[in-house]
Amino acid sequence: MRERIELARGRIREIVNEKVVAEPFGDYFRHTASFLCFLFDGTDSFADKDRDELRRFNEGLYEELYPDRYAAGYLNPGYACEKLSDEYGRELSLLFACIRGVIPFAHENIYDDIRLEDEAILLELYLEVYGSFYQSAADNELPGKETVRQIIYSHMSDYADVTIRSRLLDTVDPSRDFAKNIIEESDLSDVSYLYRFGECIDEGLIKTAEYIASLSEDDIDKMAGAFVKGFFDGFKAYGKDVSVKTTVGIRYPLGFERVVKAAIGLFREQGLESVVFRAPVHLLTRRSSSGYFGYMPDRQYVYDHKEDMACILDKALTERYVEVYEAVCREFKDLFSAMAGPAVFEDFGEPPFIPKKSPCRFVFDEKQKKLNVELVSALSRISERYMPDDETSYTMISFPTSHIGDDFEKIFSEVITLNTLDSALFSRIQQRIVDVMDRGVFASVKGCNGNETDLRISLWPLDDPKTQTIFENCVADVNIPVGEVFTSPVLEGTDGVLFVKKVYLDGLEYRNLKFEFRDGFVVDYSCDNFDDARKGKEYIRTNVFHNHETLPMGEFAVGTNTFAYVMAVKYNIFDRLNILIAEKTGPHFALGDTCYSHGEDLVIFNPDKKEIVARENSQSRKRKEDPAKAYFNCHTDVTMPYEELGELSITDKDGEVHFIIKNGRFVVPGCEFLNEPLDNL
């Protein structure tokens, strides 16, 4: 394998000075070959570099992802099409994005040989495409229009068994310990260790790591303790047996290694070895972003390459993907069954992002949208067989990075407090809300101050109110911080309009976002992000609906963490919160599957020992006949802020109305504590 890599590297070094391929394609290949040679030279001498040299090397690797360089570089599909023609531009921009996957592989190969084949595959793909231009140049021609795409397709399909296997093992095999070794063996007070990961390290990330390094042991213990406790509390709350598990998957943003190191130790004390894995970099496995990651200088790059699979996705490749995925899961079924689930550490603080539409980027056509939905659904069903949701749990916690601004340290301190609020106190207060809402036949939510929301939400009927409950009293276990009660609505009879003036979902901004529901499903939707309403619909369908034509209301919840709301107002950071905190700052509604997806048949209880019976809806009930039709494999929360909430109430079987929130204040007796932060504000 090393010989393959050396042969490939040697040929690439020759390309830097070759002028056989006609311009402007010769410039493209010399530029990309020079980038790869810079990477080769830098990793070969990596151990000898001091901190300043490591910084300069890292900057050189990622400089083309910063906005000014990206706008006029081959990684930008628009620029590539302008310089290389529409006929070749998209494919060659995609190729450059693909070979950047060599960056992390080459860094890992400094210390281990586990990524040799991953690196060799990408280098050989690059050389095969270059070879097609080199050979055509002999006849003063260019490769055929579909040649580049076909090379990429064949390469991805032929090596699918290697790339998919590699990615899956990353997520479950504790012996693949490149990152864990860095975390546990490095002097974390010297942040130069960050450059070993091979990810983009900017000044903001360094500032975050330096601040984490300066925190007291008590603060680190609080953060790691809440994280790990939440994971095990999830098993306890849902009656699952963690004693049969031996691994846990940690996902986190770089900069928080000191907290992650403490968490690894705490998990180990409880019998779970941590699997710390990178976010995927290969075209075939970029379906999700889970794993550790560095800084992304320009999110437009991510957006422009979000649907690069459209270059190659067809039915044959879909079938190949599913076949390989199943074979790997079957071969390593013991590793999958040992996994207790993901422990997710999220960050927030980046400014909101509004993508620019590029006509040159790859996008799925209608046939591919359906194929992609089918692929995600098929992979989800395979995962459920080898790592069932009713045998695993998870936890999620989040903290800000220094990119949030000058108040970073103050906000960070407040978030530590948020994430360690008294769960027992909130449990008692939320139980009062649950007791009232359990009387309801349906709930009503109406907006104010320009918010057009007017919803009627059907609630699950209780056979025995003494032993059953509709709403889960959610405290700080799997979902940190504390602060919500939620249910799976009855779809039939759930009607009306959900509207939010401005909301941020997965880092994207939506203005005047509007959904119309009929019998629990979205029948119409819009936003004002674009002058053309059709572009707004496509924006929502791609990024919220994940290419589904419609989605049901999978969750109705009441966020109760008014402390989080006040923090966001005080520092004016609503646009920077992630969903873990944002969903606690008001009522929210999830589009997609319920919170109990794939775990509907587990019997679970609230702290008051009542069974939570609203665990499914008429859509997820289809799992018993046809699992492929039961789930959408997505769940996106849309939160209404308190200042846009006129009233939230339930109506009981006698027609009596009971208010939960009125004019932005909780009115259930015993919930006065929740209004104190709002009143003080």
Q: Which of 531-538's residues contact partners 24+ apart within 8 Å by CB, and which partners? A: 535/357
**pLDDT reported for residue 369:** 92
- Max mean pLDDT range (564-573, 574-583, 600-609): 564-573
> In terms of Cα–Cα distance, which of 561, 587, 393 is closest to 471?
587
Report whether pLDDT(269) > 70. Answer: yes
CA distances to 287, 472, 616, 622 from 552, rounded to whole Å, are: 22, 19, 12, 14
**pLDDT reported for residue 362:** 96
The pLDDT confidence band at residue 488, using thresholds 50, 70 and 90, is very high
The pLDDT confidence band at residue 654, using thresholds 50, 70 and 90, is very high
191/72 Cα distance (integer angstroms): 32
What's the pLDDT tens digit per position in 288-300? 668 999 999 999 9
368 burial (CB, 10 Å; 0-12 / 13-18 / 19+) is buried
> In terms of Cα–Cα distance, which of 33, 330, 350, 346 is closest to 202?
350
**pLDDT reported for residue 664:** 85
First to last CA, the chain: 63
Regarding pTM above 0.85, the answer is yes
Higher pLDDT, 643 or 336: 336
Report whether pLDDT(476) > 70. Answer: no
What tokens were used for 15? 């390309």
What's the pLDDT tens digit per position in 116-162? 999 999 999 999 999 999 999 989 999 998 999 999 999 999 999 99
What's the pLDDT tens digit per position in 59-76? 999 999 999 999 999 999
**pLDDT reported for residue 577:** 87
Region 297-316 average pLDDT: 95
What's the pLDDT tens digit per position in 411-454? 999 999 999 888 899 999 999 999 999 999 999 999 999 999 99
Residue type, 151: I
**pLDDT reported for residue 342:** 95
Region 470-474 average pLDDT: 92
Report whether pLDDT(471) > 70. Answer: yes
Reduced to 3 states, what is the DSSP secondary structure of residue 597?
Answer: coil
Percent of the chain whose predicted confidence (pLDDT) is above 70: 100
357 burial (CB, 10 Å; 0-12 / 13-18 / 19+) is middle
**pLDDT reported for residue 503:** 87
The pLDDT confidence band at residue 589, using thresholds 50, 70 and 90, is very high
Report whether pLDDT(598) > 90. Answer: no
The pLDDT confidence band at residue 544, using thresholds 50, 70 and 90, is very high
381/633 Cα distance (integer angstroms): 10
> In terms of Cα–Cα distance, which of 112, 104, 111, 107 is closest to 285?
104
Residue type, 550: T
Percent of the chain whose predicted confidence (pLDDT) is above 90: 83
Report whether pLDDT(599) > 90. Answer: no
Report whether pLDDT(115) > 80. Answer: yes
What's the pLDDT tens digit per position in 163-202? 999 999 999 999 999 999 999 999 999 999 999 999 999 9
The pLDDT confidence band at residue 359, using thresholds 50, 70 and 90, is confident
456/495 Cα distance (integer angstroms): 5
The pLDDT confidence band at residue 386, using thresholds 50, 70 and 90, is very high
What's the pLDDT tens digit per position in 72-99? 999 999 999 999 999 999 999 999 999 9
What tokens were used for 479? 């979902």
* DSSP one-letter code for 305: T
Q: What is the chain's length?
A: 681
- Give the range among 8-17, 124-133, 265-274, 289-298 with minimum mean pLDDT: 289-298
681/678 Cα distance (integer angstroms): 5
The residues, ordered by sequence, that sit 6+ positions from 258 with a Cβ below 8 Å of its Cβ are 188, 212, 213, 215, 220
Region 574-594 average pLDDT: 89
Compute and round to an integer the Cα radius of gyration of the chain. 26
